[in-house]
Amino acid sequence: MSRVSTPGPHPDWTDPDCPVARTLDLVGDRWSLLVVRDAMDGARSFTEFQRRTGIARNILSDRLRKLTAQGFLAQRTAPSGRRREYVLTDVGRDLFPVILALRQWGERHAFAPGETHSTLVDDHGVPVPQIALVAADGALLDAGNTHVQKT
């Protein structure tokens, strides 16, 4: 199992016992998630990330450094051999369901009816189906039939 590079309890975590809080402390800012989104969509170079996001160079540099240090991205030599590029690690790829959930929530709630927006499609051009979380017995899960249990 892959793990984010985090040496022991970190003094800046907002709630070290909560997986949601700890994850948001690692990638919860807007720019980090947009960099991960663009890496999932094929961005590899600093220039590509900057063009796609419009992020300031200094902020992008910081986010790429942090995402690499935390194990979401890795650097490798580009096929041309002339520069370095960023690629998702297994840890970074594991954020796909998170990005998908945010995208699907946004499609439902962040646009006016009929407003144009992008759509995620599979390799055949078919829109990705809505995420449905189900219990072991097949029942749909939501905030009304789940709860947090400390382990």
Give the single-character DSSP code of 132.
-
**Any domain includes 37:** yes
Instruction: List, for residues 105-127, the tens digit of each pLDDT value.
Output: 999 999 999 999 999 999 999 99
Domain region containing 37: 19-89
Give the single-character DSSP code of 74.
E
The enclosing domain of 40 has a CATH number of: 1.10.10.10
Are 99 and 33 in contact by the 8 Å Cβ rule? The answer is yes
Instruction: List, for residues 1-47, the tens digit of each pLDDT value.
Output: 455 655 455 667 677 788 888 888 889 899 999 999 999 999 999 99
**Any domain includes 52:** yes
pLDDT over threshold 80, residue 63:
yes
State the pairing for strand pair 73-77/84-88. antiparallel
**Considering the chain, what percentage of its residues have pLDDT values greater than 70?**
92
> Model's pTM, two decimal places?
0.85
